[in-house]
Amino acid sequence: MIKLFSAILLNLIFIASFAQTQLQSPEQFLGYELGDRFTRHHKVVEYFQHVAAARPNNIKFIQYGETYEHRPLVVTIIASEENFKNLEQIRLDNLKRTGFEQGTPATNVALVWLSYNVHGNEANSTEASMKTLYDLANPANSKTQEWLKNTVVMIDPCINPDGRDRYANFYNQYGNYPADPSPDATEHREPWPGGRANHYLFDLNRDWAWQSQTESQARIKLYNQWMPQVHVDFHEMGYNTPYFFAPAAEPLHEVISKWQREFLNMVGRNNAKHFDENGWLYFTKERYDLFYPSYGDTYPTYSGAIGMTYEQGGGGFGGLTITTKEGDPLTLKDRLTHHYTNGLSTIEVTSQNAAKVTAEFEKYFKENLTNPASPYKTFVIKAENNADKLNRLAAWMDTHRIQYGHPSAGKSTKGFNFKTQTNSSATVSTNDIVINIYQPKGRFVTTLFEPQSNLGDSITYDITAWNLMYAYGLDGYALNERINVAKPYEQQKAENSNVASKPYAYLFKYQSMEDVKFLAAMLKNDFKVRSSEKAFSVGGNNYDRGTLIVTRRNNESIADFDNALQTLAKKMNRKIYTTSTGFVDSGKDIGSGDVKFLKAPKVALLGGDQTSSLGFGEVWHFFERQLMYPVTVIGTDYFKSISLAKYDVLIIPPGRYRMFDDELLGKIGKWVSDGGRLIVTSQALNSFSDKKGFGLKEYASEEAKKAAEKSETQTAKDNVLVPYDEAERKELESAIFGAIYKVTLDSSHPLSFGLGDYYYSLRTTPMRFDYMQNGWNVGTLRGNVKPLMGFAGYKANPTLSNTMVFGVEDKGRGQVIYLVDNPMFRSFWENGKMLFSNAVFVVGGM
Ligand SMILES: [Zn+2]
């Protein structure tokens, strides 16, 4: 009651203050000039709320989500009074232009969305957002009020508040007084992990498409309710670099329209005009491309907007002031003024061309709906694929408003077969999922599913392949013909009627991440679980390798065992199989030594300085937010002092390690021999290869090593006369940024359970390791190797032929698992998570 009363009172105060709020500038509101300090997120939010309260007929404040650390994610919408009254109509009209809503638009207003500070330590952006907001909100500013007549602006002051406050708190703590411009000062050197990433250390500017993070999920939902025509993602880069703005660098994906390219130029020219007036340095058409679909510029671009990245020099090094290579000071004020200027310039040029911007936007989607240019018109996902994977992909497509479903009739046709990577005959059935590109998100669909993305220029900023058919390991086709959706896809539910009440054992298939989550939940709830290493049949059903078996025996301590297990299985949508006997019809009996007991592992994860913050965060997030299984993070700085004996599994994420000296490797080796399971990923393998006690070798023999060195020496000799302006291209010859390779699996090894004979691997480094002489070469690249998709330097491929990608070394009572490719990369490789989970839970069964 008291609570209710005080809530009413608060509301009254709030309403009262509404009426008398006078619009304040950021300086008036904060009590200091922008650029004098880094403003913490809660104050920024308060300022945005203040402005909304002061201009209630022009500004709408929306909280659209919350970060992992419980900071609010907010957007404000700024409009003229007239447009503000019609805001919902304007939004719906805009969706009519895209085809998401039916009907003809009655309004004609452009929509600009400005997103700030996705990288937390690129911290001028949020400061700039307040200045930009104030100018747009200020009725005395005749220029901005004129633009708002035909343009609505949305401002997200901070996409990544957790990372940004991490940076702001760091700087507030370490900053000198007065600020020290020397780049050597601690205030310019953030400690690990820095403020760039979010709580789980994900790069949110790589997550727009995959949406692994809560910030992305909340934002994409809002984004797709509005679908702006112009989107700017504000960034910072090295402090010695002049400003970058549109047009973008090559490669530009082929789906980008002529108008999008044209308007990028128009925006660039307008920004240049303002920069020229002030004499500020800038560059365009270099470095920042439009290709990988999960950025804050490409995602909007593939959704019909003019998507752009703006980059100011500064970033985590910048502080309040720093001395550049020219010996000049670069201040926070300079930096925020540049972002502010370009933010307004973008609104200006949009407003000047508002009618054209909306007309072209409409045209883009008309083309999508009626006459899309890309050669592959329909992607078919076979019904025979694992139902969990289909469910998951479907749910993910829903978040992007991608349209899909079942066709009205089956047919025989021709198409690209993702399993064989050939053009061959293709059968489409009425249970398959079809996704055609005659839809609002058609171009986005193309970038995600096309068998090959044409890379106009191989110098790119990121991975060059990401196809979801390979990421999920799905069978299906890409067709040149259109197949329409006739029926909606329904999430598949496990049928569980007539489950035997007191069986000898329960059996569960093990083929997807949902099965892994179920295994993790059983182990967490103290169920004793076994895994069959051999296929078998019993009671008329066939069971693959990896099948999970929960016997009545050993589970006597679980209260109301049958009910508890069945309830958990039903809750997690698992199909329950039972057997009344341990005597199988074929294969090994349930009591056989080939049916291994899986101990619930106590898992330790190495984190902190020297680990790759991204690689560490991927595993951390996986355990806490996907598997819901406990993990203990142990810091690199005290790792040596802890007792490993308490843990069953130790995960060493990718990183550049200095800590693994002979003594520590000896300690870890002994722990493995005593029964520990060590998982080492990607660059971390360098600390274990060719080391005493570990079987990992870059080259199997001295001869092979010498041969490789000889060829390297020859390359170096050849490169002596490389012309100055070809050096960058020369480096590409041995590079792999991110390409998809087909890895042969030993499907009989537990590391492969649930995956089959092949695994499509996203490889992001040219690292190579030879076949292990005393270990299981579970994943291998055999014969002549080249990627199925994406770019790899022509010199990189031959070095990968006949190499180990995933290996398991048995050592005493334990195992070392080597993962050369990082299966957890950006948390979007669904099959990679399965492989990784096998390493954690299934390998080393007793
Ligand atoms: Zn950035």
| pLDDT higher than 80, residue 7 | no
The helix/strand count (H/E) of the chain reads as 25, 33
Average pLDDT over residues 26-49: 98
Q: How far is the CA of 119 from the centre of ligand 1 (A)?
A: 5
Average pLDDT over residues 260-279: 98
Q: How far is the CA of 580 from the centre of ligand 1 (A)?
A: 59
List CB contacts of 312: < 8 A, sequence separation 6 or more.
Answer: 122, 124, 234, 235, 236, 237, 243, 335, 338, 339
| pLDDT higher than 60, residue 729 | yes
List CB contacts of 725: < 8 A, sequence separation 6 or more.
Answer: none
Q: How far is the CA of 323 from the centre of ligand 1 (A)?
A: 21
State residue 723's pLDDT score. 78
CA pair distance 426, 109, nearest whole angstrom: 46
Closest CA to 628 of 513, 511, 753, 546: 513
Q: How far is the CA of 605 from the centre of ligand 1 (A)?
A: 28
**Percentage helix, strand, coil, to 5, in the chain?**
35, 20, 45
DSSP 8-state assignment for residue 744: E
Higher pLDDT, 250 or 207: 207
| pLDDT higher than 80, residue 101 | yes
Q: How far is the CA of 523 from the centre of ligand 1 (A)?
A: 40
Q: How far is the CA of 421 from the centre of ligand 1 (A)?
A: 36
Give the count of beta carbons closer than 10 Å to the beta carbon of residue 699: 18
Query: pLDDT grade, residue 1 (50/70/90)?
Result: very low
CA pair distance 86, 80, nearest whole angstrom: 10
Q: How far is the CA of 393 from the centre of ligand 1 (A)?
A: 29
Residue type, position 90, single letter: I
Q: How far is the CA of 234 from the centre of ligand 1 (A)?
A: 7
Give the count of beta carbons closer than 10 Å to the beta carbon of residue 709: 11
Q: Which residue has the tokens 């920024």?
A: 44
Query: Cα 767 to the chain's mean position, in Å?
Result: 23
Query: Contact at 8 Å (CB) between 293 and 256?
Result: no
Give the count of beta carbons closer than 10 Å to the beta carbon of residue 191: 10
| pLDDT higher than 70, residue 354 | yes
Q: How far is the CA of 236 from the centre of ligand 1 (A)?
A: 5
Lowest mean pLDDT among 376-385, 756-765, 791-800, 836-845: 791-800
Q: How far is the CA of 167 from the centre of ligand 1 (A)?
A: 14
| pLDDT higher than 50, residue 634 | yes
Query: pLDDT grade, residue 711 (50/70/90)?
Result: confident
Closest CA to 455 of 183, 735, 647, 708: 735
Q: How far is the CA of 191 from the centre of ligand 1 (A)?
A: 18
| pLDDT higher than 50, residue 377 | yes
Q: How far is the CA of 740 from the centre of ligand 1 (A)?
A: 26
Q: How far is the CA of 232 from the centre of ligand 1 (A)?
A: 12
Q: How far is the CA of 240 from the centre of ligand 1 (A)?
A: 15
- Percent of the chain past pLDDT 70, that is, above it, reads 97
Query: pLDDT grade, residue 9 (50/70/90)?
Result: low
State residue 594's pLDDT score. 96
Q: How far is the CA of 512 from the centre of ligand 1 (A)?
A: 34
Query: pLDDT grade, residue 20 (50/70/90)?
Result: low
Q: How far is the CA of 453 from the centre of ligand 1 (A)?
A: 24
What's the whole-number average pLDDT of the chain?
A: 95
Q: How far is the CA of 336 from the centre of ligand 1 (A)?
A: 15
State residue 635's pLDDT score. 98
| pLDDT higher than 90, residue 494 | yes
Closest CA to 557 of 525, 580, 583: 525
Query: pLDDT grade, residue 713 (50/70/90)?
Result: confident
Q: How far is the CA of 118 from the centre of ligand 1 (A)?
A: 7
Q: How far is the CA of 224 from the centre of ligand 1 (A)?
A: 23
CA pair distance 198, 214, nearest whole angstrom: 10
Greatest extent of the chain over all pairs of C-alpha atoms, in Å: 86
Going from the C-alpha of 93 to that of each of 34, 80, 146, the distances in angstroms are 37, 17, 22
Q: How far is the CA of 197 from the centre of ligand 1 (A)?
A: 10
| pLDDT higher than 90, residue 550 | yes
Average pLDDT over residues 417-424: 96
State residue 733's pLDDT score. 83
Lowest mean pLDDT among 167-171, 289-293, 618-622: 289-293
Closest CA to 656 of 636, 640, 639, 672: 636
Say whether the peptide bond before residue 181 is cis (omega within 30 degrees of 0). Answer: no
Q: How far is the CA of 633 from the centre of ligand 1 (A)?
A: 27
Q: How far is the CA of 171 from the centre of ligand 1 (A)?
A: 18
State residue 153's pLDDT score. 98
Query: pLDDT grade, residue 403 (50/70/90)?
Result: very high
State residue 716's pLDDT score. 76
Closest CA to 154 of 271, 76, 239: 76
581 token code pair: 């006997």
SS3 at position 330:
strand
Give the tens place of pLDDT for each residue, 644-690: 999 999 999 999 999 999 999 999 999 999 999 999 999 999 999 99
State residue 118's pLDDT score. 98
Query: pLDDT grade, residue 762 (50/70/90)?
Result: very high
Q: How far is the CA of 258 from the centre of ligand 1 (A)?
A: 27
Q: How far is the CA of 124 from the centre of ligand 1 (A)?
A: 11
Residue-range domains of the chain with CATH: 23-368 (3.40.630.10), 372-479 (no CATH), 505-598 (no CATH), 603-715+727-842 (3.40.50.880)
Query: Contact at 8 Å (CB) between 758 and 475?
Result: no
State residue 710's pLDDT score. 84
Per DSSP bridges, beta strands 649-652 and 603-607 are parallel
Q: How far is the CA of 106 from the centre of ligand 1 (A)?
A: 38
State residue 840's pLDDT score. 98
